[in-house]
Amino acid sequence: QVQLVESGGGMVQVGGSLRLSCAASEVTYTMGWFRQAPGKEREFVAAIRWSGGSTYYADSVKGRFTISRDVYKLTQYLQMNSLKDEDTALYYCAAARMWRVGLSTSRDYDYWGQGTQVTVGS
C-alpha cells in the first residue's frame, strides 16, 4: 500500500498563489491531483508521468497551475497561481500502481491522500 501525504493547503486571496506537495512512500507510475468542492463531483486537475515527466491539465487550470515532481524525494507538487474563488476545494493527491493510458478519472488511480483544503477568497 502506497502512502500519500499532502500538505500546503490553506487560505489565500483571489489572485494569490499556493504550492501543494504530495510525498509518496514509494515510486509509482503516475501521480496526479484531483479536487472536490462542496456539492460537486471530484474532478481532475493535473497529472504527471513519473518517469518521463509528461504533464496533463484540466482546461480550467491550464496556464495557472503547474504540476512537477522531484524524483529523488518521491514528491509531486502543484503550483497554483492566479487563484480564483472557483478553485476552492479539497485537493487530493493520487497515484497509480501500474501504468495506465488513462489519467484523468478517479478509476485511473489506486492510492489517495487524505486531502488538503484550499480556500480562495477576496
Q: How do residues 67-92 score in pLDDT, each as one tens digit?
A: 999 999 999 999 999 999 999 999 99
pLDDT at site 122: 84
CB 44 within 8 A of CB 58: yes
pLDDT at site 67: 98
CB 112 within 8 A of CB 2: no
- pLDDT tens for the chain, 122 residues long, are 899 999 999 999 999 999 999 999 999 999 999 999 999 999 999 999 999 999 999 999 999 999 999 999 999 999 999 999 999 999 999 999 999 999 999 999 999 999 999 999 98
Cell 483571489, residue? 14
CB 72 within 8 A of CB 107: no
